[in-house]
Amino acid sequence: MSGNDKHNKVRLVRVDADHQGQRLDNFLAALLKGVPKAAVYRMIRTGQVRINGGRAKPANRLEQGDEVRVPPARTRERHHAVVSEEVRRQVRAAILHEDPDLLVVNKPAGMAVHAGSGLPWGLIDALRQDRPEEYFELAHRLDRETSGCLVLARTGAALKHLSAQFRQGSVRKFYLCLMDGRLPEDLVEVDAPLVRADTDSGAPVEAHESGKPSLTRFRLLQRFGDCSYVEAELLTGRTHQIRAHARHVGLPLAGDSKYADRESVKRWKRRGLNRLFLHAHRLGLTGPGGDDLEFDAPLPDSLREVLDRLER
């Protein structure tokens, strides 16, 4: 069987302990290497993928022993992407914590967490190529433009444990951000349901009563004339939540090309900011062994320099 037609038969795949707790879409992406991500989602959406005989959604979590029906799929005509040694070295240097159950990385801005949407590789691919004999799965995600604490599971049991905490909202998540404008009070809570503007996965998210409940707490750290340096606490975990809530209150994040207007982005570039000012600086959770764990990622130099210039 050639590399391009190895997925041309229906398969029934039994989920083992290492994949317990994994999202269905991530499970299929690893199983169907070379198949376009859009094709994987289409197979799920049209009911071709089944879990124990029933229809499924991309975010469904798998349990050990589940039987997944995997339909025929056509691969891309491309070679497996190789992550350079320079990038793998960058990821190694960004590791904040490592134990037998989990790994925490200070993800660089501009690096995707996984391949997809035209990107041949992500941070998890760099880790897997650097340590091919080890198990790594994402416990959650960060936007490509966002830097900071990213947690990966190192066993199937740890993935199930960590994913449940992120899903239930029990993980303590704090971000540092610069808002374009003056926060009116020292503490502002934004309770506004969020929904994607249209069905395109790349479309922005907006506040709307039909959306999912979303709550963000913004705490002022320092004012700089026409902008506010803020810690944002995520009390729910929606896509682009901080960015969408910041725009909702009329204070989009500095450097945000998706949620701020073009003139704002240009103005911040003139002030030396060439990325989104959003950094996942602190994260707390319960480890698989029951320990209360907290991780901190220092503000990157590129963002610290912007604040230093604002203080002058």
Catalytic residues: 143
CA 309 to the chain's CA centroid:
30
Dig out the tokens for 189 from the structure.
Answer: 């809570």
For residue 50, list its beta bridge partners.
Answer: 55, 69
User: Roughly what angle, to the nearest 10 degrees, separates helices 24-31 and 37-45?
Assistant: 130
